[in-house]
Amino acid sequence: MNIAILGGTGKEGAGLGARWALAGHHIIIGSRDEERARTKAGEMRERTQRVTIIGHSNLDAARLGDVVVIALPALGLDVALPPLREACRGKVVVSTVVPLTFGGPRLFTPPPAGSSAEEVQALLPGSKVVAAFHHIAAHELAETAHAIECDLLVCGGDADAKAVVTALGTSMGLRTVDVGALTNAGPLEGITAVLATINRRYKLKNSGIKITGL
């Protein structure tokens, strides 16, 4: 599958891309700065020893992807996404975006839409948004020789789209837990605030969560 990762030069996006490349997928790293995307893709090819990683502008990446993964900062989606609307139409769009504000009075700062994923869905109305991959630490993704100790929690309004994302999770060894409709994306994104706080307090880089009783 061709997976475009917008904002893929960041740690989380690049970590997902590396895991998926190793699982046999074709990766298009997207960036505002096409040159940076190409450089990052080159580094990732070297690290993973997979040639199926290329770099493009966010727009060209979105055009080439069967699935489009949004790994952009929460602030600025309203500027970054509207130009990509046609490129994303009809596609599965995975929002990994977490609305966290470091250094302010409150770490978890969801937008008026309730969650970043719902904001993405509003900005890309023709796409099928699934919220997922918020809790898999970049540090865990980067250690590609090790299994990831975290469940994949997903929510979204389209069952087929969730099945595609579940398959992407399975391809990197994750158990998927279906957390219902996209209106649950706020609580999912909030868990990242919990994990970020735990990482800071306990001096960790890779806390994660597992659902018990399942």
Residues that bind a copy of itself (CB under 8 A): 105-108, 114, 137, 140, 149-150, 153, 155, 177-180, 183-184, 186-188, 190-191, 193-195, 197-198, 200-202, 204, 206-214
User: In this complex, which beta carbon is closest to a copy of itself, that of residue 59 or of residue 163?
Assistant: 163
CA distance 58 to 60: 6
CA distance 170 to 182: 21
> What are the backbone dihedrals phi and psi of residue 15, each rounded to the nearest 5 degrees, phi first?
-65, -45
Token representation of residue 203: 């001096």
Provide, rounded to whole angstroms, the least separation between the CB of residue 129 and a copy of itself. Answer: 16
Provide, rounded to whole angstroms, the least separation between the CB of residue 120 and a copy of itself. Answer: 17
**In the 8-state DSSP scheme, what is residue 108?**
B
Residue 109 Cα distances to 54, 142, 192, angstroms = 33, 27, 11
User: In this complex, which beta carbon is closest to a copy of itself, that of residue 93 or of residue 153?
Assistant: 153
Task: Please report the DSSP string for 174-185 in residue order.
Answer: PPEEE--SGGGH
User: In this complex, which beta carbon is closest to a copy of itself, that of residue 101 or of residue 170?
Assistant: 101
**In the 8-state DSSP scheme, what is residue 204?**
-
User: In this complex, which beta carbon is closest to a copy of itself, that of residue 51 or of residue 214?
Assistant: 214
For residues 127 and 93, the answer to whether their CB atoms sit within 8 Å is: yes
User: In this complex, which beta carbon is closest to a copy of itself, that of residue 73 or of residue 208?
Assistant: 208
User: In this complex, which beta carbon is closest to a copy of itself, that of residue 90 or of residue 160?
Assistant: 160
Provide, rounded to whole angstroms, the least separation between the CB of residue 201 and a copy of itself. Answer: 6
Provide, rounded to whole angstroms, the least separation between the CB of residue 117 and a copy of itself. Answer: 13
Residue whose C-alpha is closest to residue 173's, from 207, 200, 201, 145: 145
Provide, rounded to whole angstroms, the least separation between the CB of residue 67 and a copy of itself. Answer: 23
Helical (H) or strand (E) element with 173: none
Provide, rounded to whole angstroms, the least separation between the CB of residue 166 and a copy of itself. Answer: 13
Residue type, 136: I
